[in-house]
């Protein structure tokens, strides 16, 4: 149990709260897509197909999507910890992490990355062909992020792209096709995640500059970095609003948007260039509430729409 707890801490399992709700949005959006492309999800026209067979199929898909989300994110986080272990050991804020502290060895972390990646790819094999064929691309994006801080301040956007695969990937798992609506949600995730990751990176601005590591805060300074974060969050809000109109959503969805946008505004109201004491509240609490509450209202809207 202690080892499991250590690995959950290594990959910051609690941070799953950011991408998982959007994956659920993508999944349930796929379920409710009676679609312009006429997929089976519109309820099978063949009377010989039993409804409980459909439900069993959906449950299997749902479980596989959850496994993919957990293993892909675990591989990405563990790889990031493995690759950054020397930097983490030098940084007082991160020196207590599992690898620099000696709780988990670098080789064990790397084996965990490989195992998680294998389980992820195998899970996509049992979902459908398109998810399986795209799984190496998804793995490349989420693992490549760990290198980006070494050469570009746009690393935050790469992280956002990695997490943005959640809604479109879950939608593909159900329908097997690309559609505009889940892509809009994916863009919302790109801007949302990259915006709050900039806020989080404010904590390490001095360390990053001393180690010649790249980030928006280390490149632009605290004040300008917060302005960039605000702009990205405006783009994220614009994407979910556009999705609301494009998808013809109703009251529940707009309540969800009000909470989501409210949390974006709140986190920018409590983090100032000269006061970073509430960065963790902005990062974890505000964004956790934003993603979970938004997903609950979006899914409720999908189920209660006429």
Tell me, what CATH number does 173's domain have?
1.10.357.140
The position carrying tokens 């099978």 is: 44
pLDDT value at position 40?
42
The pTM score is: 0.91
CA atoms within 13 A on the CB side of 237: 15
Section 132-161 average pLDDT:
96
d(CA 81, CA 163): 17
- Could you tell me which residue, 11 or 197, shows the higher pLDDT? 197
Section 79-90 average pLDDT:
94
pLDDT value at position 50?
52
pLDDT value at position 242?
97
Burial 237-260 (b: 16+ CB within 10 A, else e): bebbbebbeebebeebbebbbebb
DSSP structure class, residue 176 = S
Q: Residues with Cβ < 8 Å from 186, sequence gap 6 or more?
A: 164, 165, 166, 167, 168
pLDDT value at position 44?
43
d(CA 96, CA 115): 25
Let me know how long the chain is: 306
Residue numbers of the domain that contains 17: 2-304
- Neighbouring-strand partners of residue 272: 275
Please count the structural domains in the chain: 1
**68 has pLDDT over 80:** yes
The closest of 264, 33, 272 to 167, measured between CA atoms, is: 33
Could you read off the pLDDT of 228-259 as tens digits, one per residue? 999 999 999 999 999 999 999 999 999 999 99
End-to-end CA distance of the chain: 47
Section 270-289 average pLDDT:
89
Could you read off the pLDDT of 27-61 as tens digits, one per residue? 999 987 644 444 444 344 444 445 556 677 788 99
**216 has pLDDT over 90:** yes
């Amino acid at each position: 149990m202690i080892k499991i707890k250590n690995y959950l801490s290594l990959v910051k399992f609690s941070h799953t709260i950011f991408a998982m709700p959007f994956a659920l949005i993508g999944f349930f959006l796929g379920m409710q897509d009676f679609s312009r492309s006429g997929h089976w999800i519109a309820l099978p026209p063949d009377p010989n197909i039993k409804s409980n067979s459909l439900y069993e199929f959906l449950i299997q898909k749902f479980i596989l999507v959850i496994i993919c989300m957990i293993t892909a994110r675990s591989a990405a986080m563990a790889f990031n910890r493995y690759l950054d272990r020397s930097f983490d050991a030098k940084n007082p804020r991160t020196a207590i992490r599992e690898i620099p502290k000696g709780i988990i060895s670098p080789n064990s972390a790397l084996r965990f990355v490989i195992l998680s990646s294998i389980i992820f790819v195998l899970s996509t094999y049992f979902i459908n062909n398109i998810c399986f064929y795209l799984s190496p691309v998804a793995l490349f994006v989420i693992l490549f992020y760990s290198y980006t801080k070494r050469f570009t301040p746009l690393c935050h956007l790469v992280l956002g792209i990695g997490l943005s695969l959640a809604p479109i990937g879950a939608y593909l798992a159900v329908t097997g096709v690309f559609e505009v609506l889940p892509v809009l949600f994916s863009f919302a995730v790109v801007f949302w995640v990259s915006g709050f990751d900039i806020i989080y990176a404010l904590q390490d601005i001095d360390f990053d500059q001393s180690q010649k590591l790249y980030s928006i805060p280390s490149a632009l300074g605290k004040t300008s970095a917060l302005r960039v974060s605000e702009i990205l969050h405006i783009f994220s809000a614009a994407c979910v609003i556009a999705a609301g109109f494009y998808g013809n959503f109703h009251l529940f969805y707009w309540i969800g948007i009000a909470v989501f946008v409210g949390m974006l505004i709140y986190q920018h109201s409590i983090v100032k260039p000269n006061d970073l004491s509430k960065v963790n509240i902005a990062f974890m609490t505000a964004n956790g509430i934003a993603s979970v509450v938004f997903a609950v209202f979006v899914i409720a809207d999908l189920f209660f729409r006429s």
